[in-house]
Structure 1
Amino acid sequence: MCIVAFAWKAHPRWPLIAIGNRDELHARPADGAHRWEKPDHLLAGRDKLAGGTWLGISEQGRLAVVTNLYGFGPPDPDRASRGDLLKDYLSGSGPYADIGAADYANFKPFNLITVTPDEALMHSNRPDKTVKMLGHGIHGLSNGPVDQPWQKSPHLNQSLAKWIATGSDDPALLFDGLLDRHSYEPKEPSRPSPQAGPEPRNSAIFILNPVYGTRCSTVVAIDHSGKGVFLERRFAASGSVVGESRLSFSWPAA
């Protein structure tokens, strides 16, 4: 994902809500959200080149979503794929299954949210490995450092907050805020943050571009009983909808 807003125990019915857009090269092949065959408790899209994912749910009680982190030099193809970190954590097997013990320095720069029924954590690996517990409320990630969020991130957070404030019970309505194509101009950073990636800092929540843009929008919501819904809407380079997924799953009740 390149932007995500996350509500942790802030809604009367849905204690966990995550919404976001995945921005990527349109030519990079990927499978849409589906239940994986192995392991079958994992629901996620899949990057066909690297084999990992950008957002996923495990019915064993794990959610993870990652964003690229710009401003720390050019991409390094020799570093491990961020999608492998999520894949192993969500599946519960592989060298990165114990995410707390993983060497984050081996990966390309990232921001990461992981959630279990008991806690929500924010992770980052630049400039150093950091792990922060999230309190109840709304949190957001984009391609900037956690303490210097890009301007579009607060706007998506506000969209989620407004939906909660209306008392709406339909998570599908959250797709509307993910379609925002307004470009948000960045404020002057408090310290230098060089760009290193295909997405400008003044990008929109929904990026319409024939080469690199929003590939899919995702809404995940889990209620107090552990019943969850995973909604995904996929887009062509033109911005037209080319596919949708609606997956139901179970989550351990807190």
Structure 2
Amino acid sequence: MPATSAHASKEFRSPMCLIAFAIGQNPRFPLVVAANRDEFFRRPTAAMDWWQADSGQHLLAGRDLASGGTWLAISANGQVAAVTNVREGSPETGRSSRGELPVRALAEPASVLGAALNSEPDRYAGFNLVSLTERGGWYYSNRDAHPGRQLFRGSFGLSNHLLQTPWPKLLRLRKAFATVVEAASHRTEDLHNQLLPLLQDTSPAPDAMLPDTGVGIETERFLSSPFIVGSDYGTRATTIVTLDAQGEARVTEQSWGPNAQPLEKRQFSWQR
């Protein structure tokens, strides 16, 4: 096992993720989302599938079998919600699992959810939450000085700090992602196939460009590539979601094992 992988696994306890999304950047595909979920391989997880939340809503999502909930979910009408943690040097736990948040975002209006989160700022450990449709989106972080922002047209990136924080891996993915989305033709399958390799980029960032989030330089290096390769911890799922102008929702998810071993690939499509 690489030394960085062993060192990193001792330095932090919560999952990392990377998300790029585009709203209104291609008339054929008004919403495109591309995401990596990074986690310990020992953490029990169910692959993406349809399931019913406690609210009664049917959603498409993977499931965290340790504490419940999910990191990214899609509703039958094509709304997408995803959560990332905020990387902080000292471990922190909240009273509730952050995996509840995407499920709540699909069930509750943003104004209602935002008010509830404002009233209990410490209920969850540090998080970023996005809720997206082809018309726009909503972003909330309990580490933001002014939480709760409406999102409109544009290409965005989110990792383990606030939205659009210019970490090297976020900048690299967002730039390549935006170029592919803007140039996409009418074949949804082609777009998915073009986006998947962007999320498999294992290029580390130069030390001079690394953020200092309190986890140490070796761990910063280990976490600096868009796709993380390790034996204990690494990228476990790569997910692409597209909504097209004709009402089709399509989802591709590639699962990964230790040391980037490709596992199951699942694809879903339906008419909204």
Question: Which band: TM-score by shorter chain?
Answer: 0.7 to 0.9
What is the Cα deviation at residue 12 of structure 1? 2.1
Alignment of structure 1 residues 60-139 onto 2, 5 Å: 60-71=77-88, 73-90=89-106, 92=107, 98-103=112-117, 104-128=121-145, 130-139=147-156
1:234 equivalenced with 2:255 (yes/no):
yes
> Which region of structure 1 is more displaced relative to structure 2, 202-211 or 122-131?
122-131
1:245 equivalenced with 2:245 (yes/no):
no
Q: How far apart are the structure 1 equivalents of 2:103 and 2:80?
A: 11
Q: Give the TM-score taking structure 2 as reference length.
A: 0.81
For 1:175, the equivalent position in structure 2 comes to 196
Which of 200, 219, 222 is the matching residue for 2:220?
200
Residue by residue, what CA displacement relative to the aligned partner does 1:124-162 show, whole Å, maximum 9, x if unpaired?
Answer: 111545122222110000112336332100111112122
1:33 equivalenced with 2:54 (yes/no):
no
> Contact 1:66/1:112 (CA < 8 Å) preserved in 2?
yes
1:16 equivalenced with 2:37 (yes/no):
no
> Contact 1:171/1:219 (CA < 8 Å) preserved in 2?
no
Q: Larger % of helix: which?
A: 2
Q: SS at the partner of 2:155? A: strand
Q: How far apart are the structure 2 equivalents of 1:37 and 1:123?
A: 24
What is the Cα deviation at residue 215 of structure 1? 0.2
Which of 53, 77, 80 is the matching residue for 2:70?
53
Query: RMSD over aligned Cα, in angstroms?
Result: 2.5
> Which region of structure 1 is more displaced relative to structure 2, 122-131 or 28-37?
122-131
For 2:157, the equivalent position in structure 1 comes to 140
Which runs of no fewer than 5 residues in structure 2 stay unpaired? 1-15
Q: SS at the partner of 1:148? A: coil
Give the 3 Å change call, closer, same or farther, for CA 130–199 of structure 1 in structure 2: farther
Residue by residue, what CA displacement relative to the aligned partner does 1:169-197 show, whole Å, maximum 9, x if unpaired?
Answer: 323221010110001236376xx74349x
Q: SS at the partner of 2:258? A: coil
User: How many pairs align?
Assistant: 244
> Contact 1:68/1:110 (CA < 8 Å) preserved in 2?
yes
For 2:12, the equivalent position in structure 1 comes to none
> Contact 1:43/1:58 (CA < 8 Å) preserved in 2?
yes
Q: Which amino acid aligns with 2:18?
A: I
Which runs of no fewer than 5 residues in structure 1 stay unpaired? none
Q: SS at the partner of 2:228? A: coil
Give the 3 Å change call, closer, same or farther, for CA 135–207 of structure 1 in structure 2: same
Give the 3 Å change call, closer, same or farther, for CA 161–153 of structure 1 in structure 2: same
Aligned-residue sequence identity (percent) comes to 34
For 1:187, the equivalent position in structure 2 comes to 209
